[in-house]
Structure 1
Amino acid sequence: MSDQLRPRSSRSKLSTLARHGRLKKSNPVTTVFKFLAAALAVLMVSSVSVAAIAAYDVASSVKPGVHLENEVKGKPAQEFSAIKGGVNLLLVGSDSRKGQPAVFGAEDATGDLNDVTMLLHISEDHSNASVISFPRDMYVPIPGCPDGKGGTYDAMSSQKINTTLTYGGLACTVLTVEALTGLKIPYAAEVQFSGVMAMSTAVGGVEVCVAEDIEDKHTDTYLKAGKHTLQGLAALQFLRTRHGIGDGSDLTRINNQQVFMSALLRTIKSSATLSDPTKVYSLAKAATANMQLSTSLNNVDTLISIALALKDIDLNKVIFVQVPTGNVDSGVIPIQPDFDDLFTAVASDQPLQLGGSTGRGATVDPNAPATPAPTATPTPTPGAPVTVLPDTATGQTAGEFTCSVGRTLNNQ
């Protein structure tokens, strides 16, 4: 049985705080600076797709950042240079209804759970990046986390990872993933529903491929097989659908999210988006209006430096991967040694290569654009040896065209 939550401080129960902030008035100089920051930071979507841009209005926002144990303050980037070395950044998607549109239900309808937990790793030489997803129903040990009142919640031996926001906020999720992976994570951001909706709209919609009909009465998602351009609520519901994808599990939902994320990244990296200042500005604004940042990220210089480290990475060298897991009662647990081997490779900064499995929630698009044949034999790139992941680590590259495997009501 999982351990019970026992706060050491005088706080008697958990509370979920709505995080809001007002914007200060800006002058023309800061407006121009923020626009430049937004234009560069929009490229951060190469890393974490559905909510990774975090540069618009950071300088003028009064929202306090979340302190992380291993955060790095660093020095301001000089002349907008790329950050030196590798980067580990945790992106958390909250399912809290606080401050969100009424369409998602009453503010007290849910707690504050991390519905999505993804780790971005940028290599030391900025030649590749990986986005690693942790299933929300994965049982993990949770270390002692700050309770926000100067005390600490007791550590727990086995809880679902999606409860870490409830137990200690963004800092607790970071501490948990650090303990789980052995990595230090100096940067983190939390995003809510509205940000996802606004970002998909800002780029004019994201085209996704559906291999078989998707029917999900829980999220009101009904899509016929074929291509669909999704934005706003439709895009968010596509990302949230579980019952209408694969086998109805959270694992196949992650596969579905990877289909969307790779398509979003291709849209962002296209000249149609990057050459349109309005889209660039709107995209950055849409994300940060609904984000809570760590104090290490609540700095325009840092955001720009991370964006510059990502902007030139080839789509085929951005890997979306789901951690290896096995089923247990009402959830999943990490599969060993595959799980530890994955993070040993990440810690050693070795480039990752998928073993070929997209997972049961996605499949290769049979109508994908043909890849031009190389005109000459490629010259091997010096560097760390490539780690080929086992099939238990499912996913795809950002350059791969895939389709979501749908599931109809008759099969649920």
Structure 2
Amino acid sequence: MAASKRPSGEGRAPLARHGALKSRHPFVTLVAMLGVVLGVFGVSAAGIAAYNVWDATQTVTANAVVLDGDKPLPPSLGAIEGGVNILVAGTDSCEGENARLSSACRAGDTKGERNDVTMLVHISDEPRRVTVVSFPRDMLVSIPSCPKEDSSGSYSAMSSQMINASYQYGGLACTVLTVESLIQDEIDFAAAIRWAGVINMSDAIGGVDVCVAEDISDPDNTGLSLTAGTHTLEGEQALQFLRIRHGIGDGSDLGRISNQQQFMSSMVRKLQSDSVLANPATLLNLATTAINQVQQKQLVLSSGLTNPTLMVQIAMAAKDVPYEDIVFVQYPTVYASGAGGSRVMPVKDAAKVLFDALKANQPLTLTGDASQGYGVEVTGEAVKPETAPTPAATEPAGEAPPTAETPATAETPAAETRVELPSDIAGQTAKDITCTQRQK
């Protein structure tokens, strides 16, 4: 993306955490959640189908977080110079049915809602690419001054806090400010989903295939137990898989991120196939589920995500991205000395290579492999289904054949230079088929 269009930190317009806004077309929530929270980027026919159901869908009211009240919303993705950055948080609320899903809630730790998962989805300008950056929840960062919920002022800035404290400290707007300070760029839109919302959306999608190399069991935390092999997960089992860390990899949040990347890669491949996108009944079921999540307060959106035209533009922009250009990476870290076994520190030099490449819209090459994320190993490569070839254009009657002065074809553009990411940036592409490893 281009240089930040909105200053972060001091001198920036105050952010209001919540403002009641009407979502005239609730199907936008579906597009937002599929395209962002659950890592779904191939929507092909979904954008067209969306228009067919919007007018028949009842209006819902959502609590929207205003990220920049003075900035007019762009009419389409193409109007955002350099692409778009979307922040996604998965939060560990203890409200309602979410309480039984969290070991912390069951243990009596109900002191607020934290961003247990924090991801940045970057969709580039043309040529379209998608990069998803996961920020370890145990990473120690500075949290900037964040606006208070009642607009009465701002909280003081804090240093050396786990990044998952940002949501508890000041809601979605504070998590946005915190990540902006890390990436030195603007976040255009944001969303947060609670665990019950993930379960319901996963049910509506119909399951995602995952691979487990050996039997795994986590009875004390997530409750997940799986035998070795391939499993189709949906509902609560899908949430357990996304949250498990005890019993896989090195037992840390870094291993959990690798697991999440396996799940998202598999979901991308499924939703870019006809099994979901060509099924109107599935699409309508997804729409209904998304509406319910807004009504049940399982989703929180920034105000920009209530713009249906924009959301279709975002979804359609990423529909034909090749598997190798859908890249999932972890923000690079090293374990912090003297801060507890699970705490990690950001490696900003390596991260700068990544974010400079995203701003310059350069394709990425991973030099390390997915096993560096501790939780998975690469077992194969996926092949994207072929699309029907475009018929060749018929030469107009009477047109002179090409000559040396009028070449028959345009000159082939030079191949883009791919940026090799530092080896300490772990990740995988949607092309990589990976398998979860049991904790040793």
Give the TM-score normalised by structure 2.
0.76
Residue 96 of structure 1 pairs with residue 96 of structure 2: no
For residues 368-387 of structure 1, what are the structure 2 equivalents within 5 Å?
382=414, 385-387=417-419
Match of 1:181 in 2: 183
Report the Cα distance in structure 1 between the residues aligned to 2:198 and 2:131, rounded to whole angstroms: 20
Q: Secondary structure at the match of 1:355?
A: coil
Residue of 219, 222, 233 corresponding to 1:219: 222
Change (3 A) 1:302 1:365: same
Report the Cα distance in structure 1 between the residues aligned to 2:429 and 2:162, rounded to whole angstroms: 27
Residue 232 of structure 1 pairs with residue 215 of structure 2: no
Match of 1:7 in 2: none
Match of 1:394 in 2: 426
Unaligned runs of 5+ residues in structure 2 are: 1-16, 386-410
How big is the shift at 1:286? 3.2
How big is the shift at 1:395? 0.8
Report the Cα distance in structure 2 between the residues aligned to 1:187 and 1:23, rounded to whole angstroms: 17
Change (3 A) 1:192 1:51: farther
Match of 2:118 in 1: 117
Paired amino acid for 2:302: S
Is the CA contact (8 Å cut-off) linking 2:40 and 2:267 kept in structure 1?
Answer: no
Is the CA contact (8 Å cut-off) linking 2:40 and 2:268 kept in structure 1?
Answer: no
Is the CA contact (8 Å cut-off) linking 2:21 and 2:63 kept in structure 1?
Answer: no
Give the TM-score normalised by structure 1.
0.81
Identity across the alignment (%): 42
Paired amino acid for 1:87: V
How big is the shift at 1:339? 1.9
How big is the shift at 1:350? 1.9
Report the Cα distance in structure 2 between the residues aligned to 1:202 and 1:113, rounded to whole angstroms: 25
How big is the shift at 1:102? 5.4
* Superposed CA offset, 1:67-113 (max 9, x none): 11488533434xxx866540011011111122435532669743200
Residue 365 of structure 1 pairs with residue 366 of structure 2: no
Report the Cα distance in structure 2 between the residues aligned to 1:98 and 1:383, rounded to whole angstroms: 51
* Superposed CA offset, 1:164-189 (max 9, x none): 00111000000011111101111101
Report the Cα distance in structure 2 between the residues aligned to 1:255 and 1:174, rounded to whole angstroms: 23
Is the CA contact (8 Å cut-off) linking 1:92 and 1:191 kept in structure 2?
Answer: yes
Match of 1:255 in 2: 258
Change (3 A) 1:355 1:162: same
Match of 1:342 in 2: 354
Q: Which has the larger radius of gyration?
A: 2
For residues 268-347 of structure 1, what are the structure 2 equivalents within 5 Å?
268-287=271-290, 289=293, 290-328=298-336, 329-330=339-340, 331-347=343-359
For residues 116-135 of structure 1, what are the structure 2 equivalents within 5 Å?
116-135=117-136
Report the Cα distance in structure 1 between the residues aligned to 2:193 and 2:239, rounded to whole angstroms: 13
Is the CA contact (8 Å cut-off) linking 2:242 and 2:256 kept in structure 1?
Answer: yes
* Superposed CA offset, 1:199-242 (max 9, x none): 22212211101112211122111111100111100110011101
Residue 264 of structure 1 pairs with residue 267 of structure 2: yes
Paired amino acid for 1:62: T
Paired amino acid for 2:281: T
> How many residues align structurally?
372
Is the CA contact (8 Å cut-off) linking 1:349 and 1:384 kept in structure 2?
Answer: no
Paired amino acid for 1:304: V
Residue of 349, 363, 366 corresponding to 1:354: 366
Paired amino acid for 2:346: P
Match of 1:154 in 2: 156
Match of 1:170 in 2: 172
How big is the shift at 1:196? 1.3
Q: Secondary structure at the match of 1:64?
A: strand
Query: Mean Cα displacement is larger for which, 130-139 or 120-129?
Result: 120-129
Report the Cα distance in structure 2 between the residues aligned to 1:20 and 1:242, rounded to whole angstroms: 36
Unaligned runs of 5+ residues in structure 1 are: 1-16, 25-29, 373-378
Q: Secondary structure at the match of 1:304?
A: helix
Change (3 A) 1:266 1:284: farther
